[in-house]
């Protein structure tokens, strides 16, 4: 089945928030997997430049999950205007198959390593 594949980038205010959002999206099978990274950030907010450490979730999904991901992140995120950005991606056949199988599977076996 051919899908439009997406990388979704979601900001988070803390490691705990990034891990919680990632776990939520994984359990609901909205994303196939995620990578959480962090670093210094600078941005305009309420007419001031703010400097803060932010976390970013980089995850992989299909375009049909976009509206639900946005709704879930907005519901549970602590920021008023979180980053929820989607970028169209392509990749090798095995990578795309993994995304498809992960977000469309009805089973929910959770394996923690």
- Which pLDDT tens digit goes with each residue over 59-112? 999 999 999 999 999 999 999 999 999 999 999 999 999 999 999 876 555 554
CATH number at residue 90: 3.30.70.120
What pLDDT digit, counting tens, does each position of 33-53 carry? 999 999 999 999 999 999 999
* Residue tagged 């602590």 (tokens): 78
Domain count of the fold of the chain: 1
Name the residue range of residue 53's domain: 2-6+15-58+84-103
Look up the pTM and report it. Answer: 0.87
In a domain, 71, yes or no: no
């Amino acid at each position: 089945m051919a899908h439009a594949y997406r990388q979704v980038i979601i900001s988070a205010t803390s490691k705990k928030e990034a891990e919680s959002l990632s776990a939520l999206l994984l359990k609901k099978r909205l994303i196939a997997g995620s990578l959480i990274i962090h670093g210094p950030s600078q941005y305009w907010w309420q007419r001031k430049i703010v400097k803060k450490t932010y976390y970013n979730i980089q995850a992989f999904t299909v375009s049909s999950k976009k509206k639900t991901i946005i709704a879930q992140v907005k519901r549970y995120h602590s920021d008023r205007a979180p980053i929820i950005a989607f970028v169209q991606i392509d990749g090798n056949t095995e990578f795309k198959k993994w995304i498809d199988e992960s977000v469309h599977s009805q089973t929910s076996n959770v394996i923690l390593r």
